[in-house]
Chains A and B, each alone.
Chain A
Amino acid sequence: MQLTIRLAYHKTGRARFLSHLDTMRVFSRALTRTGLPLRFTEGFNPHLILSIALPLGVGVESITERLDFGVTDNVSLGRLPGMLNAALPEGFFVTQAVMGGRPASQISLATVEILADSPVPPETVSRLFQTSAVVMKRNKKKEQIPTDIVPFIRDISCAQLGDKLLVTATLTARDPVLNPEYLAEAWRTYLDPEAAFLFRRTALLDCDGAKFDSLQ
């Protein structure tokens, strides 16, 4: 039997510093420890069938992650989040497990909240990212290519939140993926070199701008 289970999970706190590969390793080990009938790849060097939708950048939190893994037999989906949460390190929290789901390739946009510690008026921030061009050097195959990031920002708003600013932005997640770190870099370049940020991905959207799925 070949089944695919999709997990929805949060990656927050210290766990945000783990890279995509680290996260794969963490889940691979946590899944192994649960003793579930896991599915492996064939070949000399078997490893778990495991994939994470839309890899998250180092330092970015998320409350809307999706991970698919393979099993060879039916498992109790209701107990799965609890079992995994007991095996995962601090900062990971599995909220739901379901059978299958829409292909991850249908994720087109991601909403990100950026909490900024920077004494800049909110209007200035909105204006910066709505101007015709914010050219940043993007890493592309070891080369740094100047790219205007504004076309990849679908929606952006900025509001005062206590002594900080809360930016909510919807960024392209395919062709290309815009890492929210570029917004921070632009901020430091054009507005405030000392600004400090906390990023959190809050929603995954499809090409119509609708929620990718109903998982919480």
Chain B
Amino acid sequence: MTPYQRIEPFLTAVQKPARYTGGEVNSVIKNPQNVKLRVAFCFPDTYEIGMSHLGLQILYDIINRMPDVWCERAFAPWEDMRSLLLRKKIPLYALESGDALADFDVLAFTLQYELCYTNVLSILDLAGLPLRSAERDERHPLVIAGGPCAYHPEPIADFIDLFAVGDGEEVTAELMELFVRAKQDGLTRKETLAETAKIPGVYLPSLYRVTYKEDGTLASTEPVGGAPAVVTKRIVRDLDHAPYPAAPLTPATEVVHDRVMLELFRGCARGCRFCQAGYIARPVRSKTPKTLFRQAVSAVETTGCDEIGLVSLSTSDYPGLEELCEALAPWCKPRRVNLSLPSLRADSFSKELIERTGQVRKSGLTFAPEAGSARLRDVINKNLREEDLIAACTTAFSNGWSGVKLYFMLGLPTETDDDLREIAALSGRVYQLWRQVVPDRGRGVRITASASCFVPKPHTPFQWEPMVPPDELLRRAGIVRNGMRKQVTFHWHEPDASFLECVLSRGDRRVGAVIERAYRNGCRMDGWSECFSLAKWRDAFAEEGLDPDFYALRRREVTEVLPWSHISSGVSVAHLIREREKAYGAQTSVNCIDGCEGCGLTCS
């Protein structure tokens, strides 16, 4: 009996058991006798989050196109399922076959955000595997990882055998081919891993020796045994011809993004200085409208979904948007398929854009000014003028939208109390605008301002900045709240989780012991406010003799060796320093559509 068959009679005892059964439309079933390599794609968060992730769909498809390899899926079980598995002594299994993860050749994690690290350990633990890479041997699967956190992997490096940095399409296929060959040739675990180090973009933590200075900062991260001094991310240059799932997995149960995702382009031309995604995903690579149309039709026809999300980091910047929508809208309309546009820039929102997509749901609209004052928006290079926001909201209100959400950040570099008061003032002006624009105010309006806490991220111009301490962030949230008129709903994120995110993104290899300790002390699902406890994490830091403030709250010198200095996003450090200087002077930079700031990457 497989672990799944053993747990099945008890599944009604857990919440939403359909998360643990598999059997979705377009899931891939192969005969284990006919494949040479078995891989489990592990998403270290709940099923609903993981199944909304496009990267999973893309890599699942790429690996399963290989006849010799079978890729299955596993997710982090919620606490009730975790305790059920532990109580019944049943190991965690993959959804397709129901077989134990421990019997796989490879566990491939995607690390989308730092607060999932304890879930990585939870999956390894529930699979019955030693948590640390150094403690695993020939009996155990290889544990590999990719995703944005692979750009600053040191805190989680003790638990992962190798990281793949950058776009996953090509490097995943290369790694799988290598693993198949290595297994056929009878290579040892060590020999196999050594072979992978020759693949560009692959980082093996075990091949680097880390030394520290007396003050606790890094002295060096040096390669041993011929590994490259700097691992540079992989870039898929021709996204138009890159593989894309023709028949995406279709969950039967509700997931966060319950729609077909169409990736218009990768990268972002804007260069917002706080945005790690914008920096690490450079340069911009677009697909042609023709390719996108074909991919959209295929995805809808094979899934039966009634919504297509046009996704990217800044969808309104896609040059072929008009052409794509003109082709897609008439195809979608008779089929009652809805096109949805996430993350719109206020300066591109127009009546024409909305008409083009044929979008009819007018429930909510979100704009992200990020900062209240024009000065601070220049500091972060948001390049958004208040006139543009006002124009966008005017269009929205006069075309029937009854709600606008505004996203801001607290704790940006150089932020003053005046900047904070401007968040309240700007939100108030949007409310005033609604009163002016909408003659019949019977239906009311929902203006929501949300503020998250700025986390200075690796590989951005703000990577050397200290994070603003949590108690100070609370004081700043108070200033915004006090200035906010009562018609505007104001939410702010608890700074504690952001603080931990900062520590885990900027920590060095010593932080690994803290992650393990926190996990042993019961930290899991840290991204979920109902589960998160900073107090438990602080205990774990104290028990390991490390100070989280050292990683989060300290201003770093540009000369300091950073825990991610040996990983390159392709953007030059000189460019980051230039951008940082310009930020201090509230000077903006040109975006990649209108010019070039020479970031170090070449656009095609």
C-alpha spacing A15/B24, complex, angstroms:
10
Contact indicator B12/A21 (Cβ below 8 Å): no
Quote the shortest CB–CB distance from B1 to chain A (angstroms). Answer: 15
> Across the interface, which residues of A come within 8 angstroms of B302, CB to CB?
33
Q: A22-B252, A40-B336 are in contact. Are A28 and B304 (CB under 8 A)?
A: yes
B250 touching A29, Cβ below 8 Å: yes
As a 0/1 sequence over residues 84 to 95 of chain A, the CB contacts with chain B under 8 angstroms (1 = contact) are 000111110000
Q: A32-B304, A44-B360, A59-B11 are in contact. Are A17 and B18 (CB under 8 A)?
A: yes
Q: How far is the CB of B182 from chain A (nearest CB, A)?
A: 34
Q: Which residues of A contact B362 (CB under 8 A)?
A: 44
Measured CB to CB, the closest approach of chain B to A11, in angstroms, equals: 11
Contact partner, B22, options A14, A28, A117, Cβ 8 Å: A14
A90, B17: Cβ atoms closer than 8 Å:
no
Which of B20, B253, B301 lies in contact with A22, CB distance below 8 A? B253
Chain B contacts for A91, CB-based, 8 A: 23
Pairwise interchain contact A47-B306, C-beta atoms closer than 8 A: yes
Q: Could you tell me the distance in whole angstroms from the C-beta of B56 to the nearest C-beta in chain A?
A: 18
Beyond A17-B18, A19-B18, A22-B252, whether A29 also contacts B25 by CB under 8 A is yes
Residues of A within 8 A of B304 (CB): 28-33, 87
B9 touches A196 (CB 8 A): yes
Beyond A19-B253, A44-B361, A59-B12, whether A29 also contacts B23 by CB under 8 A is no
- Distance (Å) between the CB of A114 and the closest chain B CB? 13
Check B306 against A196 for contact (C-beta < 8 Å). Answer: no
The answer to whether A58 touches B21, judged by C-beta atoms less than 8 angstroms apart, is: no
Q: How far is the CB of A94 from chain B (nearest CB, A)?
A: 15
Known: A44-B360, A59-B12. A89 touches B18 (CB 8 A): no
Size of chain B's interface in residues, with CB distance under 8 A? 29
Which B residues between 1 and 45 are near A, CB-CB below 8 angstroms? 8-12, 16-18, 20-25
Q: Restricting to A7-27, which residues have a CB under 8 Å from any CB of B?
A: 13-15, 17-19, 21-23, 25-26
A30 contact set on B, CB distance < 8 A: 25, 304
Query: Which residues of the other chain, A, contact B18 by a CB distance below 8 angstroms?
Result: 17-19, 22, 58
Report the nearest A residue to B21, measured CB to CB.
A14
**B17: contacting residue among A17, A21, A32, A47, CB under 8 A:** A17
- Cβ–Cβ contact A58 & B254, under 8 A: no
- Measured CB to CB, the nearest residue on chain B to A46 is B336
State whether A21 touches B254 (Cβ < 8 A).
Answer: yes
CA distance in complex: A33, B247 (Å): 12
Contacts of A117 in B (CB 8 A): 9
User: A21: which B residues are within 8 A, CB to CB?
Assistant: 254
Contact B361 A58 (CB under 8 A): no
A198 lies within 8 A of B23 (CB): no
What's the least CB distance linking A154 to chain B, in Å?
24
Determine the chain B residues whose CB is within 8 A of the CB of A59 once the complex forms. 11-12, 17
CB closest chain-A residue, reference B338:
A45
- Given contact pairs A14-B22, A17-B11, A29 touches B253 in the complex (Cβ within 8 A): no
Q: Shortest CB–CB separation between residue A86 and chain B, in angstroms?
A: 10
* Identity of the chain A residue whose Cβ is nearest the Cβ of B29 in the assembled complex: A90
Contact code string B86-112 (vs A, CB < 8 Å = 1, else 0): 000000000000000000000000000
A215 CA to B498 CA, complexed, in Å: 58
Contacting B at CB under 8 A, from A126-162, are none
Smallest Cβ distance from B200 to chain A, in angstroms?
39
In the bound complex, do residue A17 and residue B250 qualify as a contact, i.e. CB atoms below 8 Å apart?
no
Taken together as a complex, chains A and B put the C-alpha atoms of A14 and B17 apart, in Å, by 10
Q: Is B305 an interface residue (CB 8 A)?
A: yes
Asked if B64 is at the interface (CB within 8 A of a chain A CB), the reply is: no
Which of A21, A25, A30, A117 gathers the greatest number of chain B CB atoms within 10 Å?
A25
Q: How far is the CB of A187 from chain B (nearest CB, A)?
A: 14
Tell which of A32, A88, A90 touches B306, judged by Cβ atoms closer than 8 Å: A32
Contact of A89 among B9, B11, B16, B24 (CB under 8 A): B24
Taking CB atoms, residues of chain B closer than 8 Å to A32 are 304, 306, 335
Per the 8 Å Cβ criterion, residues 298-344 of B in contact with A are 301-306, 335-336
User: A22 touching B22 by the CB < 8 A rule?
Assistant: no
Q: A19-B18, A25-B252, A29-B304 are in contact. Are A87 and B336 (CB under 8 A)?
A: no
B172 to chain A, nearest CB (A): 26
| Residue ID in chain B nearest A41 by CB atoms | B336
Given A29-B303, A29-B304, answer yes or no on A14-B361 (Cβ-Cβ < 8 Å). no
- Across the interface, which residues of A come within 8 angstroms of B23, CB to CB? 13-15, 89-91
Contacts of A26 in B (CB 8 A): 25, 252
Q: Which residue of B has the minimal Cβ distance to A198?
A: B9
CA distance A15 to B23 in the complex (A): 8
Q: Could you tell me the distance between the alpha carbons of A23 and B18 in the complex, rounded to whole angstroms?
A: 11
- Tell me the complex Cα distance, A174–B77, Å: 36
Give A40 to B336 CA distance when docked, in angstroms.
8
| Set of chain A residues within 8 Å of B25, measured between Cβ atoms | 26, 29-30, 87-89
Tell me the smallest distance from the CB of B373 to a CB of chain A, in Å: 38
Q: Which residues of A contact B254 (CB under 8 A)?
A: 21-22, 25
* Across-interface contacts of A196 in B (CB, < 8 A): 9-10
What is B's interface to A at a CB cutoff of 8 Å? 8-12, 16-18, 20-25, 250, 252-254, 301-306, 335-336, 360-362
- A–B pairs, 12, beta carbons within 8 Å: A14-B8, A14-B23, A18-B252, A21-B254, A30-B25, A33-B302, A44-B362, A47-B306, A89-B24, A89-B25, A91-B23, A181-B12
A residues apposed to B, CB below 8 Å? 13-15, 17-19, 21-23, 25-26, 28-33, 40, 44-47, 58-59, 87-91, 117, 181, 196, 198
Given pairs A14-B23, A26-B252, 20 additional interface contacts (CB within 8 A): A15-B252, A17-B11, A17-B12, A18-B18, A21-B254, A22-B252, A25-B252, A25-B253, A29-B250, A31-B304, A32-B335, A33-B303, A33-B304, A40-B336, A44-B362, A47-B336, A58-B18, A59-B12, A87-B25, A89-B24
